[in-house]
């Protein structure tokens, strides 16, 4: 990984980036409400990395390849949606996509398809990675790291505890993020996007979407 790419990853993985990630718990809040102990957060994250996060990372990598070939990103969006059966997860992914679209248009301005405001986070991130010159493996790492940091940052608000314990969990999950990134970095077509489902996470997302008393939107 080049120095420039490392710094770019640090920029885009920074929780202070105004992309809307601070409004999310990546499903942790409904998981805790359903009785998942906070100590199981690392196991929850590993489950996400093998399912919904892997699908998003794969879609982002494919979106990057399609953008590089000047293809139609709406096809990647449709493929991601077909692999995301939860309406709540799809809606949340598109809210995050609009946040990253602001980042893209501000930091890497250029012409954008008029349909881009309806695209999900992985599709917008794929376009952003193409514009920014980020490689596919780094893009997949970004998706995985962002997911892990979103959950762990939310945990500190939902059930406050020693931040160094949480940091240790993130450190221990870095090899899992790298493994997931390696699995999807070679993808180029929509047919290759993974299709691993997570029915319980999807069910929690649907329940959370109708909950009125909550700290996070998703």
Which pLDDT score is estimated for 212? 76
Is pLDDT above 80 for 21?
no
- Give 87's contacts (C-beta < 8 A, 6+ positions apart): 206, 209
3-state DSSP percent of the chain in helix, strand and coil, to 5: 70, 0, 30
Q: What is the pLDDT of residues 178-187, one digit of tens each?
A: 999 999 999 9
Which pLDDT score is estimated for 20? 66
The pLDDT mean for the chain works out to 91
Is pLDDT above 70 for 195?
yes
Q: What's the rounded Cα separation, in Å, for the pair 72 and 194?
A: 19
- Give 167's contacts (C-beta < 8 A, 6+ positions apart): none
Q: What are 7's two structure tokens?
A: 């710094």
Which pLDDT score is estimated for 206? 86
Q: How far is CA 119 from CA 75, 85, 115, 150, 214, in A?
A: 10, 16, 7, 20, 26
Place of tokens 């309406």: 87
Is pLDDT above 60 for 3?
no
Is pLDDT above 80 for 215?
no
| Architecture of the domain made up of 20-205 | Orthogonal Bundle (1.10)
Q: Which residue has the higher pLDDT, 82 or 218?
A: 82
pLDDT (average), residues 174-193: 97
Q: Which residue has the higher pLDDT, 73 or 19?
A: 73
Is pLDDT above 50 for 134?
yes
Q: Which residue has the higher pLDDT, 218 or 177?
A: 177
**How distant is the alpha carbon of residue 57 from its chain centre?**
7
Q: Is 195 helix (H, G, I), strand (E, B) or coil?
A: coil
pTM of the model: 0.92
Residue 183 exposure: Cα atoms within 13 Å on the Cβ side: 21
pLDDT (average), residues 124-135: 95
Which pLDDT score is estimated for 4? 61
**How distant is the alpha carbon of residue 135 from its chain centre?**
16
Residue 149 exposure: Cα atoms within 13 Å on the Cβ side: 16
* CA atoms 135, 74, 146, 9: torsion sign: positive
Which pLDDT score is estimated for 1? 42
What does the CA dihedral 131, 137, 139, 145 come to, rounded to 10 degrees?
A: -160
pLDDT tier, 107 (very low <50, low <70, confident <90, very high otherwise)? very high
Is pLDDT above 80 for 120?
yes
């Amino acid at each position: 990984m080049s120095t420039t790419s490392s710094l770019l990853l640090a920029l885009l993985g920074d929780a202070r980036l105004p992309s809307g990630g601070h409004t999310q718990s990546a499903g942790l809040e409904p998981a805790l409400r359903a009785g998942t102990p906070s100590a199981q957060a690392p196991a929850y994250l590993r489950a996400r990395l093998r399912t919904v996060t892997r699908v998003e990372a794969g879609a982002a990598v494919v979106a990057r390849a399609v953008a590089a070939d000047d293809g139609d990103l709406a096809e990647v969006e449709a493929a991601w949606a077909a692999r995301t059966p939860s309406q709540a997860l799809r809606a949340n992914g598109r809210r995050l996509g609009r946040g990253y679209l602001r980042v893209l248009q501000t930091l890497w301005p250029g012409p954008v398809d008029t349909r881009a405001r309806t695209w999900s986070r992985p599709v917008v991130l794929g376009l952003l990675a193409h514009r920014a010159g980020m490689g596919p493996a780094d893009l997949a790492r970004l998706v995985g790291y962002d997911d892990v940091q979103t959950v762990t940052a939310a945990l500190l608000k939902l059930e406050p505890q020693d931040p160094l314990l949480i940091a240790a969990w993130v450190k221990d999950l870095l090899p899992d993020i790298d493994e997931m990134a390696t699995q999807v970095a070679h993808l180029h077509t929509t047919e290759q996007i993974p299709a691993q489902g997570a029915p319980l996470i999807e069910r929690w997302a649907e329940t959370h979407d109708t909950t009125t008393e909550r700290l996070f939107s998703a």
